[in-house]
Amino acid sequence: MTVFYGYERPDGSVGVRNHLLVLTPMDCSIEPARKIAVQVEGAVAVTQHHGCGFDWMVANTLIGTGRNPNVAGVLLVGLGCESLTCEVLAEGIQPTGKPVETLVIQEEGGSVRTTEKGVKILRKMAEEISELKREPFPLSKLMLAVECGGSDATSGLAANPAVGVAADMLVDEGGTVVFGETQEMTGTQHVLARRAVDAGVAEAIHAMIGRQELRMRAAGIDSRFMSKGNVEGGLTTIEEKSLGAIRKGGTRPIQGVLGTGREGFDYPSRPGLWLQDGTGWDVPSVTGMVAAGAQVVAFTTGRGSTTGHAIAPVLKVTGNPGTYSRMVDNMDVNAGAILDGSETLHSVGEGIFRDVVEVASGRMTKAEVLGYHDFIVYKTSGLAERLLEVCPPEALRGGRGRSSEAALEPGF
């Protein structure tokens, strides 16, 4: 049985890193939060940029980030007049049993006093967590997020299938895998639904992707679009294009759909492969999956992406040998060795599985070594979502321009 070495949290979850999170409910208080984090080893400050109005989609993503087992302790820094309050975030994070402290700038008497007090709180937390030792845990305590960005023709051929092999190995050893980017699943509903563990999950998959197709049609985008470049690059049908993207999640049964919307934010309730209903935009997609509990991220890229994450190691896998050699400072795995036959899909996939376990046990990824702390909270437009609910699907047509107007009419 494979084990990884992590830090056990009070709720029994296992962190692969020992981050201190300085979390601000909105961007008004991010600068003082950064000044606090920069003074304490292992601390990182994050925020969201959707304003201070209360929105569960935003609140839940921030709460999920604080709950992630890679976070050892949380300091909330609020301004004081925001609707999305520190209290709400603290209530969401506290059930994990990790230390959660709050400072409100308007109550503390300004940012200088807040910073001074915040550094003292964080210093104490840092000293305490430094006592924690890594211990061995089964892979049932590990959740891997898979993501792709900056794709090219080698993504569907080498990097995604190789990460898929690793994802299958992790699931077979009792682990959890999540992939999102609902937009990239369009056209593969039938394939994903067939792999659902039951009829209810199959229905949820159809509903999730159907809803995304509706959004895209409302925006005038044909979700089953193939570009001239796709076809010239060798992709014959939309099925082939989409299957290349979803292959990074492997081939195992799908346990369920994890919501990220206002109706609720879901965490996996058991091990296995899960889908997250999330954005196709790389950094917010990773942020969403880490908020759902993923401790490690495997990120495939053909052209070469450099992003990391504030609290989770991101392993970069490229299927393009040229990208690997040009961007070796950013790329962790060269899946391009599959192309010349020097390695096989399976051998590279097994290597990625071992990399994931080693990274989970403390080995730093390239993005971590460089100190990249990407973090973006995604939010759909509440207004647009409401319009889609009241708008009959037949009123939404593909094609440029027309459809967005058609989408607006029926509801009003």
Q: Which residues bind another protein (CB under 8 A)?
A: 153-154, 157-158, 161, 165, 187, 191, 222, 224-228, 231, 233-234, 236-240, 243-244, 247, 251, 338-341, 343-347, 398-399
Specify whether the CB–CB gap between 229 and 353 falls below 8 A: no
In the complex, the smallest distance separating the C-beta of residue 207 from another protein, rounded to whole angstroms, is: 19
In the complex, the smallest distance separating the C-beta of residue 191 from another protein, rounded to whole angstroms, is: 5
Q: Which residues contact 347 (CB under 8 A, 6 or more apart)?
A: none
Within 13 Å, how many C-alpha atoms sit on residue 328's CB side?
Answer: 4
Which CB, 224 or 363, lies closer to another protein?
A: 224
Which CB, 105 or 165, lies closer to another protein?
A: 165
Which CB, 232 or 329, lies closer to another protein?
A: 232
In the complex, the smallest distance separating the C-beta of residue 76 from another protein, rounded to whole angstroms, is: 45
Which CB, 353 or 378, lies closer to another protein?
A: 353
Q: Which amino acid is at 231?
A: V
Which CB, 153 or 197, lies closer to another protein?
A: 153
Which CB, 220 or 272, lies closer to another protein?
A: 220
In the complex, the smallest distance separating the C-beta of residue 340 from another protein, rounded to whole angstroms, is: 7
- Residue 187 CA to residue 181 CA, distance in Å, equals 13
In the complex, the smallest distance separating the C-beta of residue 375 from another protein, rounded to whole angstroms, is: 32
In the complex, the smallest distance separating the C-beta of residue 233 from another protein, rounded to whole angstroms, is: 5
Selection from 289, 320, 298, 302 nearest residue 366 by Cα: 298
- Residue 17 CA to residue 38 CA, distance in Å, equals 18
DSSP helix/strand/coil, 213:
helix
In the complex, the smallest distance separating the C-beta of residue 250 from another protein, rounded to whole angstroms, is: 11
* Backbone angles phi and psi of 19, in degrees to 5: -85, 150
In the complex, the smallest distance separating the C-beta of residue 216 from another protein, rounded to whole angstroms, is: 12
H-only helix segments in 227-306: 228-232, 238-246, 282-291
Distances (CA, A) of 103 to 29, 76, 89, 125, 375: 10, 6, 12, 15, 22
Specify whether the CB–CB gap between 303 and 148 falls below 8 A: no
In the complex, the smallest distance separating the C-beta of residue 404 from another protein, rounded to whole angstroms, is: 16
Specify whether the CB–CB gap between 96 and 43 falls below 8 A: no
Looking only at the bridges linking them, the beta strands covering 14-15 and 3-8 are antiparallel
Which CB, 9 or 247, lies closer to another protein?
A: 247
Which CB, 152 or 266, lies closer to another protein?
A: 152
H-only helix segments in 147-254: 153-154, 160-172, 182-185, 189-194, 199-218, 228-232, 238-246
Specify whether the CB–CB gap between 5 and 135 falls below 8 A: yes
The residue written with tokens 């082939």 in the block is 240
Which CB, 239 or 385, lies closer to another protein?
A: 239
